[in-house]
């Protein structure tokens, strides 16, 4: 299967702990996006990369969130000092930046902060 993969699929953590999620995009895709989705809402943009460069970070994202894509392939999203409000589904998507391409989503990581 050559789709977008994410790991882990589920994460339960205690408030104040750090968590890290990984996303492996479709191999030829140079764009990678992170979204957050809460119950009953559409995906909310967090940040995106073209190759290893982080192009934009949402203003809604606090300093506790950081994302990297060190070699332009997989990406990691880290949340430091987690809060209960961070509980959500974290979705990764990738695309081929050509102006006419859509984004393909991975299965997501569901985070629960206790």
Partner 1 sequence: QQPVQSPQAVILREGEDAVINCSSSKALYSVHWYRQKHGEAPVFLMILLKGGEQKGHDKISASFNEKKQQSSLYLTASQLSYSGTYFCGTDNFGNEKLTFGTGTRLTIIP
Work out how close the CB of 81 gets to partner 1 at its nearest, in angstroms, rounded to a whole number.
Answer: 27
Residue closer to partner 1, measured from CB, 19 or 92: 92
Work out how close the CB of 77 gets to partner 1 at its nearest, in angstroms, rounded to a whole number.
Answer: 16
Q: Counting contacts by CB under 8 A, is residue 25 touching partner 1?
A: no
55 vs 14: CA distance, rounded Å: 31
| Inter-residue contact 69 to 6 (CB < 8 Å) | no
Residue closer to partner 1, measured from CB, 79 or 106: 106
97 vs 28: CA distance, rounded Å: 10
The CA angle 91-96-101, to the nearest 5 degrees, is 90
* Cα dihedral 9, 19, 5, 55 in deg (nearest 10): 140
- Binding partner 1 (rule: CB under 8 A), the pick from 44, 52, 68, 80 is 44
Where does this chain bind partner 1 (CB under 8 A)?
Answer: 31, 33, 40-45, 48, 56, 91, 95, 97, 99-108
């Amino acid at each position: 299967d050559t789709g977008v993969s994410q790991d882990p699929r589920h994460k339960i953590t205690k408030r104040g702990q750090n968590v890290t999620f990984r996303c492996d995009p479709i191999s030829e895709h140079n764009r990678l996006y992170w979204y957050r989705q809460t119950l009953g809402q559409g995906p909310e943009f967090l940040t995106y990369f073209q190759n290893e460069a982080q192009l934009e970070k949402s203003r809604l994202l606090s300093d506790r969130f950081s994302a990297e894509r060190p070699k332009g392939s997989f990406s990691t999203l880290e949340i430091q000092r987690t809060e209960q409000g961070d509980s959500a589904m974290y979705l990764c998507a990738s695309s081929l930046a050509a102006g006419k391409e859509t984004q393909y989503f991975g299965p997501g990581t569901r985070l629960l902060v206790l």
